[in-house]
Amino acid sequence: MGTEPSAPTAMSIEEFVSQPGRDRLTRLDPHLPPNTTWFQYSGNGITSSINAMINSLITKPYPTYSSMPVADQETWFRQFAQEFNWDP
């Protein structure tokens, strides 16, 4: 009869951030070449994105990102990477 479908697999973060089309996302660069932004600048959507993740992706508060369980950190990172792009 055909082959059985394989179980879905999640891409590694490296695979995820190297997907085509990421050049259309807002680019982050601390040196601010043209058409980029960085964290301390207002109106760039970064704060809104992080606030949305705080309100929808975590079930309890953590004092810092690094104190979150690794699985939650990866979920946050993947969500952030859907909206912003940067050089590795």
SS3 of residue 31 by DSSP: coil
Report, as ranges of residue numbers, the positions in the chain whose pLDDT lies below 70.
1-9
Q: Identify the pLDDT of residue 54.
A: 84
Do residues 22 and 45 lie in contact, with contact meaning Cβ atoms separated by under 8 Å? no
Tokens (6 digits) for 71: 């699985």
Question: What pLDDT, in 10s, does the model give residues 52-71?
Answer: 888 888 888 899 989 999 98
**Residue in 66, 72, 78, 85 with CA at minimum distance from that of residue 11:** 78
Domain ranges of the chain: 25-39+70-88
Q: Mean pLDDT score of the chain, rounded to an integer?
A: 84
**Predicted local confidence at residue 30, as pLDDT:** 92
Q: For 1-88, list the strands marked E by DSSP.
A: 26-28, 36-37, 84-86
